[in-house]
Every structure is written in C-alpha cells, then in structure tokens.
C-alpha cells in the first residue's frame, strides 16, 4: 500500500513487512500464498535458508503473523504458515503480515526497543527524544520449530508475565530515592565531635 501511494519512492518503505488487511484483501493474500507454494514445490535449487525449518516452511507458503482487530497486549496474535493464513474465515477481520524469520536476538531471544519522541513541529522539523526508553524481551528462546509458543515469538509483557520462568525487572520508581539514601548514609558516616575533640581543637587553634 505504501509503495502504491508513494510510487517511485515506495522503496523507502521496504522496512515495513508485507501486510494484508482482512477481509478486504483476503483474495490477494490467498493468490500470493498459492503462488509461493507452487514456486517452492517446483524449485529444483533452493537457496541456503536460516535453517531446514525455514526451508520446509516455504513449501507451506512461508510464515505469517495474524493480529486481530480492536485488541491489545498481544491478545489473539498468532504465528502460522501461509496455508493456515489462507484458510482463515472469509469474514475474519485481522491484519496479516509476513513474519520475519530471521530477527535480531539478545541471548537467543526476541526483543523490541521503544524510543519515545515528541514531534512539536514539522516545518521546520523539531523532535524531542526522551532520555529513557523501553526494552521488552521474550521469556523463551526463539525457535521456528514451534509456531504456537507465544513466549518465544512475542515480546508483549502481558503475554510473557505468565511464563513459568518470568522474572520482573527490579528498578526504583523514584529516581531521587537513591541519591537521598546515599546522602543519608554519608551523614550517618560522619562522626559527631565529642567534648574532648572540641577541647583538643581549641588547644591547637592559635590565639
């Protein structure tokens, strides 16, 4: 859609995965998946893939991620083969995107980064970037052998907090608490002068 709207400059939007909005684009999705399955079946030479599982998936129309409408927090999101996506009910409302089979990983796990910005003007362009952002990491290591394991394929907190190995991040919600605590400790470490200390000091002080 972005390529169609922006014409020759559509290549600038290659960063966006191929997307279909159902049910309106259900037939277009079906035709694409059918052609890909046919091409994979007739291919005599296959390029080297991420692993054998990815190659096997190509004969099933590749991998797709289905996101239901009017939902949030990862609810209802599913990763499936092209054959399964093409078999979705005709009137089902959803967004279907090509699944990126080779994502960047941290310690073998999927993650996403969120950077918060405020655009206060567009001409001239003025953007403020927040000092802090957010990182979400899946609780299970990434694998293509099990497409139903949302702990491996989704990074949503609402999903991963239910994983048996989930560990909540420890942080101080009050950024001033640490500095205040350190200040209190510093004050406690200072020794209160005794009467003898005062007397010794008075003797050493020149008249």
- 55-74 pLDDT per residue, tens: 667 888 999 999 999 888 88
Whether residue 39 sits in one domain with residue 15: yes
Task: Identify the burial level of 55 via C-beta atoms within 10 angstroms of its C-beta, where 0-12 means exposed, 13-18 middle and 19 or more buried.
Answer: middle
Q: Kindly state whether residue 145 falls inside one of the protein's structural domains.
A: yes
Residues 81 and 3 in one domain: yes
Q: Are residues 80 and 143 in the same domain?
A: no
Count the neighbouring beta carbons within 10 Å of the beta carbon of residue 116: 11
Residues 122 and 77 in one domain: no
What pLDDT is stored for residue 98 in this prediction?
A: 94
Same-domain pairing of 110 and 42? no
For the chain, what is the mean pLDDT?
81
Q: Is the pLDDT of residue 193 over 80?
A: no
Which residues neighbour 71 within 8 Å (Cβ) at sequence distance 6 or greater? 77
**Model confidence pLDDT, tens digit, residues 141-186:** 999 999 999 999 999 999 999 999 998 877 666 656 544 444 444 4
Total count of domains within the chain? 2
Domain boundary among 101, 123, 144: 101
pLDDT value for 64: 96
Same-domain status, 66 and 83 = yes
Distance CA 136, CA 155 (A): 6
- Residue 195: the pLDDT is 52
Q: Are residues 3 and 70 in the same domain?
A: yes
Q: Are residues 143 and 154 in the same domain?
A: yes
Q: Does residue 95 sit in the same domain as residue 111?
A: no
Residue 131 makes CB contacts below 8 A (sequence gap 6+) with: none
Task: Tell me the two tokens of residue 116.
Answer: 């918060």
Question: 28 is in which domain, residue-wise?
Answer: 1-101
Residues 26, 59, single domain; the answer is: yes
Taking alpha carbons only, the member of 78, 76, 43 closest to residue 58 is: 43
CB-CB contact of 51 with 144 (8 Å): yes
* Same domain, residue pair 87 and 136: no
Instruction: Name the helix (H) or strand (E) containing 159.
Output: helix 157-160
Per-residue pLDDT tens over the stretch 99-128: 998 999 999 999 999 999 999 999 999 999
Tell me, yes or no, whether 73 and 111 share the same domain. Answer: no
Exposed, middle or buried: residue 61 (CB in 10 Å: 0-12, 13-18, 19+)? buried
């Amino acid at each position: 859609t972005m390529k169609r709207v922006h014409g020759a400059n559509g290549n600038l939007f290659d960063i966006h995965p191929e997307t279909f909005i159902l049910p309106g684009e259900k037939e277009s999705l079906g035709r694409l998946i059918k052609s890909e399955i046919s091409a994979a079946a007739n291919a005599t030479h296959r390029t080297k893939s991420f692993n054998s599982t990815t190659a096997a998936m190509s004969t099933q129309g590749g991998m797709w991620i289905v996101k239901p409408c009017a939902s949030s927090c990862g609810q209802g999101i599913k990763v499936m083969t092209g054959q399964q996506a093409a078999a979705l009910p005709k009137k089902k409302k959803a967004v279907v995107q090509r699944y990126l089979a080779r994502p960047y990983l941290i310690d073998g796990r999927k993650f996403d980064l969120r950077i918060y910005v405020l655009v206060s003007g567009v001409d001239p362009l003025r953007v403020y970037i927040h000092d802090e952002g957010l990182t979400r990491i899946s609780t299970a290591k990434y694998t293509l052998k099990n497409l139903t394991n949302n702990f491996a394929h989704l990074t949503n907190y609402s999903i991963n907090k239910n994983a048996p190995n989930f560990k909540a991040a420890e942080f101080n919600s009050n950024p001033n608490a640490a500095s205040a605590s350190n200040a209190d400790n510093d004050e406690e470490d200072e020794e209160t002068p005794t009467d003898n200390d005062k007397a010794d000091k008075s003797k050493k002080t020149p008249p």
